[in-house]
Structure 1
Amino acid sequence: MRWWAFAHLVSNTGTWMQLTVQNLLVLQITGSPAAAGLSISAQAAPGLLVGMLGGAAVDRWPRKVTATVAQVALGLVALATAFLVATDGLNLPVLIGLAVVTGLIATVDGPACALLGNDLVPVRDVPSAIGVGSLVHSAGRLAGAALAGITVAALGTAAAYVANGLSFFFVAAVIPFLPLMTGRGGPAADAAPTAAGPEAADTSVRGGLLFFARRPRLVALAGLNAVSALFGRNYSLTLAVLVTGPMAGSASSFSAVSTALAVGGIVGAVLGARLRSPRVRLVAALTAGGALLQVLAGFSPSLAFLVVLALPLAVAESVTDTAQNTLLQTDPPPHMRGRVLGAWNSVRTLWGLAAPPALGLLMEVLGARGALVTGGLVVAAAVSAGWLLRGPRKNRAVPAPRPVRIAGTAPVVGPVTEPALAAPVRPALESAA
């Protein structure tokens, strides 16, 4: 697990180095902000359209092999992009095509790598493994953003893509040496997950969609994710507008807010790693708490107040994400988890594409402060309404069974059902009938 976490950190650092310079590269080629947005959408679109197919592939194929092939493929795409940048052979159509290919590979790589990390620890430690993944993701984001500027200044834009490509190859080299575990630590063969029963035979995309739609807690998570994405959480957008607009700050002022958000993300990942069995109610409570903090952010009187507030705001968001990931990766049966993550990827991508324009329109109408306050109140109200409208909880208290005595027999404790009746009891009942 330590090797996997280290490899994951290296890969995330390279990925964030590339993402940091990608928009600058598009602007350098085209000079159009719209083109930069198009490249992001092109890379996200496969997750929306074929996310379930990627999840189905993860459920059917051996996990280590799948993750290794996906990492090598992503590394080749990054190195090809670096070569085109270095030789001035990259134009917008080619860049969009490479972004689409990257998005397609990511529909398989994302769930494969997420579930592979869980296979390295006993079942009881899976929530902690997911928390470590969140921590590594946040740390890689910080390191990648910092190294991107240094690398580009010293070696040029192509170097960031080379670093990212090499990081994928490093992960691919580590995966074959990772021993998998099942249950509470027993060795397992490197094979695709299997399950018993009639559901095990259904490895179709349709089966995964039906499972997701019929699982109330998964539907509830999708609803919470939708409302929080559409009316909040995009703090890199909303807080940037708040700082540079009503607060009359500069880009360096927002960097202080970004640093606080990053630190809060790391703290939240550490706290989230301690969650053993999170419930949807916890996710709902954290979502509502984050929404109320967002309302306070809208009323921030100064930059210092906003920087202080950004820390718990990011903590709530990070713990919420870790709890969601734990539920998504542990609630479904093993043979269904790839498709559940694929369905979740499609849902999250949908809201991810819809949220920035929606928030932009809201800020155009209400201003940055009004959008933060209104969005936070909408999220809190939606969570409260869902809490009030949820179905009645099942009564977990089971009344103590009363003994049932039949003439000539010993008392039978519990409900008189067919399995409970001993063989000598059945003839007595039949003769009585």
Structure 2
Amino acid sequence: MTAPASGHGGSGPFVALQEPNFRLYAAGQCVSLVGTWMQAVAQSWLVVELTGSGTVLGLVVAAQFLPVLLGGPYGGLLADRADKRRLLLGTQTALALLAGTLGLLTVTHAVRLWMVVLLAVALGTVNAVDNPTRQTFVPEIVGPRLLRPAVALNSVMTNAARAVGPAVAGLLIASVGVGVCFLANAASYAAVLAALLAMRTDRLRPGPAVTRATGQLAAGLRYVRGTAGLWAPLAMMALIGTLAYEFQVVLPLLAREGGHGGARTYGFMTSVMGAGAVAGGLAVAARGRVGVAPLVVAAGGFAAALTAAAAIRWLPLELAALACVGASGTAFLATGNTTLQLVADPSYRGRVMALWSVTFLGSTPVGGPLVGLVAEHLGPRAALALGAAACLTATLLGLAALPRVPPHHRHLDPRPPGLSRTGSPPTE
């Protein structure tokens, strides 16, 4: 006979939209993330316009993510302790004000490089708290039953924005100027703030309260060190995040190489990567399993795609290779993120996801200048090849770590518990 309906029908990652609060959250994120990608593209292009230097661009990107490296673990601890919805209202408001300030400085032609650096540092400081809070707020919205599709859908939304945001930014930069991108991003935060305020707080599912005590940061680090299903993905991301995800540095220089073009080509390259990223995120959400073993496979695919992008010089094929880079890079990100969310104990989840942010974003202060230096002196294709080598090394590291990972952490079913492959309740 058929089991009673659970109220969570649907299929794939979109089953998470059955939760009303998550629908609000997703709608706000869809708008805001487009603005975030517009700002990322515009900031990189602004630095290139001001300096023309890949090394300086790498240093500016490093300055933005240095606070994540230094303060990320404390941001995760704060996320474990605080009311996440209220904390996000504060961080999102601060991010809107920073984007608006940079926009006004740019459109009035008052912007200088030191101002961009100062605002980038402030942005990174807020993101050190905002990133782990956003990631650990999703389980509170949907609960454990819908956590897997919700995390996957969140990744898909991020990469859909990555496809749209850069394309819009490229058009705006070429038509009305780079400053408008920052102002548009500032306005986009209104959607997130409205969604957070409209949520029904009685439907949220807060995790275990983590009261203030000494040694909590060290306890989180010990927990990760003793759990191979956590430290192996984090070690792999430390390598890949440092050298392979520095596209803010590489792509502006690649767009200018060989007479490819300017802002339009840059926006198009980033959009093609974003389109591939959406496909990669959907593939992981709909069909792929997560866990350390699939993460090793994803790292190998990322290495192959970066190798192809570094070798191909004809623009149409290069764009196809960049789409593969986007797909494989997002497959690695989505697989790693979901693996950590599912393996981590809820009371440690904020600190674990903060370490994920540190290895992904916080590694940029090291990788950004290094990749920028390689791109400026050896060319952007050499920088892509360096990223491919990092992915290959991470793949080998993951293979070496697999025997120490418990079997139930090597492969994790990404479907919601109790649902069949079609998203319907199982039959008896």
TM-score class, shorter-chain normalisation, is: 0.7 to 0.9
SS of residue paired to 1:56: helix
1:187-242 deviation line (CA, Å, top 9, x unaligned): 446x5x3169xx99677222222222322222111221133345545467667777
Match of 2:155 among 134, 138, 142: 134
1:399-418, aligned counterparts within 5 Å?
none
Match of 2:324 in 1: 312
Match of 2:13 in 1: none
Structure-1 separation of matches of 2:243 and 2:110: 40
Match of 1:194 in 2: 208
Instruction: Verify the 8 A CA contact 2:45 2:252 in the aligned structure 1.
Output: no
Tell me the percent identity: 26
Residue 277 of structure 1, CA deviation: 6.0
Residue 327 of structure 1, CA deviation: 1.9
Residue 293 of structure 1, CA deviation: 3.6
Aligned length: 385
Residue 44 of structure 1, CA deviation: 1.1
Residue 279 of structure 1, CA deviation: 0.6
Q: Which moved more, 1:35-44 or 1:6-15?
A: 35-44
Match of 1:353 among 365, 369, 376: 365
Gaps of 5+ in 2: 1-21, 409-428
Cα gap change, 1:100 to 1:258, in 2 (>3 Å) = closer
Instruction: Verify the 8 A CA contact 1:139 1:266 in the aligned structure 2.
Output: yes
Match of 2:9 in 1: none
SS of residue paired to 1:166: helix
Structure-2 separation of matches of 1:111 and 1:225: 16
SS of residue paired to 2:128: helix
Within the alignment, does 1:169 sit opposite 2:179 as a pair? no
Within the alignment, does 1:321 sit opposite 2:333 as a pair? yes
Structure-1 separation of matches of 2:87 and 2:50: 34
Match of 1:55 among 68, 71, 76: 76
Match of 1:250 in 2: 260
1:43-122, aligned counterparts within 5 Å?
43-87=64-108, 89-122=110-143
Cα gap change, 1:324 to 1:392, in 2 (>3 Å) = closer
Cα gap change, 1:54 to 1:367, in 2 (>3 Å) = closer
Residue 59 of structure 1, CA deviation: 1.0
TM-score normalised per structure 1: 0.75
Cα gap change, 1:89 to 1:392, in 2 (>3 Å) = closer
Instruction: Verify the 8 A CA contact 1:42 1:99 in the aligned structure 2.
Output: yes
Match of 1:263 among 275, 285, 289: 275
Structure-2 separation of matches of 1:79 and 1:239: 25
Instruction: Verify the 8 A CA contact 2:53 2:376 in the aligned structure 1.
Output: no
Cα gap change, 1:7 to 1:216, in 2 (>3 Å) = same
Larger Rg: 1
Instruction: Verify the 8 A CA contact 2:44 2:248 in the aligned structure 1.
Output: no
Residue 119 of structure 1, CA deviation: 2.3
Within the alignment, does 1:146 sit opposite 2:167 as a pair? yes
Instruction: Verify the 8 A CA contact 1:26 1:92 in the aligned structure 2.
Output: yes
Cα gap change, 1:74 to 1:239, in 2 (>3 Å) = closer
Match of 2:302 in 1: 290
1:202-241, aligned counterparts within 5 Å?
204-230=216-242, 232-234=244-246
Residue 67 of structure 1, CA deviation: 0.7
Structure-2 separation of matches of 1:70 and 1:108: 8
Residue 160 of structure 1, CA deviation: 2.6
Structure-2 separation of matches of 1:71 and 1:394: 38
Structure-1 separation of matches of 2:124 and 2:254: 31
Cα gap change, 1:373 to 1:93, in 2 (>3 Å) = closer
1:373-408 deviation line (CA, Å, top 9, x unaligned): 676466435523542464467689xxxxxxxxxxxx
Residue 286 of structure 1, CA deviation: 1.1
Match of 1:340 among 327, 340, 352: 352
Cα gap change, 1:93 to 1:132, in 2 (>3 Å) = same
Residue 63 of structure 1, CA deviation: 0.9
Instruction: Please tell me the residue identity of whatever aligns with 2:208.
Output: T
Instruction: Please tell me the residue identity of whatever aligns with 1:146.
Output: A
SS of residue paired to 1:119: helix
Q: Which moved more, 1:387-396 or 1:306-315?
A: 387-396
Cα gap change, 1:71 to 1:244, in 2 (>3 Å) = closer
Structure-1 separation of matches of 2:353 and 2:300: 24
Cα gap change, 1:116 to 1:308, in 2 (>3 Å) = same
RMSD across aligned C-alpha pairs, in angstroms?
3.6
1:320-352 deviation line (CA, Å, top 9, x unaligned): 111111122232222221122222222223432
Instruction: Verify the 8 A CA contact 2:91 2:130 in the aligned structure 1.
Output: yes
Gaps of 5+ in 1: 182-186, 397-433
Structure-2 separation of matches of 1:54 and 1:113: 11
Residue 90 of structure 1, CA deviation: 4.1
1:90-120 deviation line (CA, Å, top 9, x unaligned): 4444443322222111111112222223322
Q: Which moved more, 1:305-314 or 1:317-326?
A: 305-314
